[in-house]
């Protein structure tokens, strides 16, 4: 079993929908949590960063961390076709190497 599990999708939603992306993990030592967006054949772009538990909001994006359930989420409000990409969750116990999920492919359709 992988340390970080992420549904690979693909997930297809209509424009304007609220998107929910999730990861579960097994390592209780993880305390730094990130979401990256990756367009095809490009490098990952950091979207959200959270330390420990709680919520963080940035524009249309909200990240949630529930350490008791070992579960993190990314919500995208008013989704746009330009949000179509692969979304990667990443986490670490210490300041150092990141452990990634496999990524969820999202398509926002007109």
Q: Give the residues lining the site for another protein (CB under 8 A).
A: 4, 6, 8, 32, 34, 36, 41-46, 49, 51, 88, 90, 92, 94-103
Local structure of residue 82 (DSSP, 8 states): G
Contact call for residues 83 and 106 (beta carbons, < 8 A): yes
Q: How far is the CB of 44 from another protein (least distance, A)?
A: 5
Ramachandran sector of residue 3 (left: φ over 0; alpha: ψ -120 to 50; beta: rest): alpha
Query: In terms of CB distance, is 49 or 75 closer to another protein?
Result: 49
Query: In terms of CB distance, is 17 or 99 closer to another protein?
Result: 99
């Amino acid at each position: 079993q992988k340390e970080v599990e992420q549904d690979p999708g693909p997930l297809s939603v209509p424009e304007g929908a609220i998107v929910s992306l999730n990861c579960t993990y097994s390592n209780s030592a993880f305390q730094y949590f990130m979401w990256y967006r990756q367009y095809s054949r490009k490098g990952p772009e950091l979207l959200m960063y959270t330390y420990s538990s709680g919520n963080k909001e940035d524009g249309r994006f909200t990240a949630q961390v529930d350490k008791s359930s070992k579960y993190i989420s990314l919500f995208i409000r008013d989704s746009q076709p330009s949000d179509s990409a692969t979304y990667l969750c990443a986490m670490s116990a210490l300041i150092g190497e990141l452990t990634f999920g496999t990524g969820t492919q999202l398509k926002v359709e007109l």
